[in-house]
Every structure is written in C-alpha cells, then in structure tokens.
Amino acid sequence: MRTKSGPCSAISSARRDSFLLIPPFYTTGGVDISIGRNVFVNQNCTFYDLGGLDIADDVMIGPNVSIITSGHPVEPSRRRAFTIAKPIVIERNVWIAAGATIIGGVTVGENSVVAAGSVVTKNVPPNALVGGNPARVIRSIAD
C-alpha cells in the first residue's frame, strides 16, 4: 500500500504521516491504494483495490466499510470468465459511515457524507448527504 507521501511498509502499524488505521483490515493487495493525509480508517474494513482506489486528505471511514473496485459481468455465461475493475475516488473531507459499501466506478464528492449501511452505486456530488440502497441524495450539507 502506498500513501501519498511514500510507501507504507506495515499497514497494521496504525500511524504513518497522520494516517490511522484500526485493524483488522482486508485488501486484495494494497498496491493500487493511494491515501492522503489525515485519513482515518476504522476496524474491519475491506478494500478491493484492483481497479485503483484514491482516498484524498481528511477522509474518515467507519467500521465495516467495503470499498470494492472489482466485480463480474452480469451474464451467467461470462461471470466466471473475467473480472471487471473500475476505479473509486474518495475526495477530500468525506465521511463514510459504518457498514457502507462503495462500488467500482464511483467518485464520492468533496465534503460529502455516506450514511451508515448505504450502498453507493453512482457518483456522489460534493457537499451531499447520501443514504439508502441504492444510495440517493438526502440533502445538501453545504455550510
């Protein structure tokens, strides 16, 4: 796993350049994850990073969050043939609450909040509170 300021040699070390992670943590390798400064990842998170995962500065990620960049085709005859991978971008100052799932190809806009238990399948605009399955904009949270 890489942080924006350099390599992170031991993810379970918990602190590195203001990055805090509470284990356990699961990933498909971690080499395609980029993490900014002042990022907090709570326990029991899963990051499938095959498609690339970019987490900006000041992001907070609650416990049991899944960020999944890869999947399979819907058609039964193609499902086991290959994996589809799409990047996920989490912009600055986002809060992803407990148990949320973010699906590949999504950008979560700056200052947004993803409510607990939500499944995000489409882009989240900046300064928005989203929730539900599939997640929808509940309201603006602009100051």
Please return the burial class of 48, using the count of CB atoms within 10 Å of its CB with bins 0-12, 13-18 and 19+.
buried
Give yes or no: 102 in active site. Answer: no
Catalytic-labelled residue, pool 2, 72, 136, 139: 72
Q: Which residues have C-beta within 8 Å of that of residue 56, sequence separation ≥ 6?
A: 36, 89, 90, 91, 92, 93, 94, 110
Q: Which residues have C-beta within 8 Å of that of residue 116, sequence separation ≥ 6?
A: 62, 97, 98, 99, 100, 131
The amino acid that residue 62 corresponds to is G
Give the C-alpha separation, 20 to 110, whole Å.
20
Q: Which residues are catalytic?
A: 72
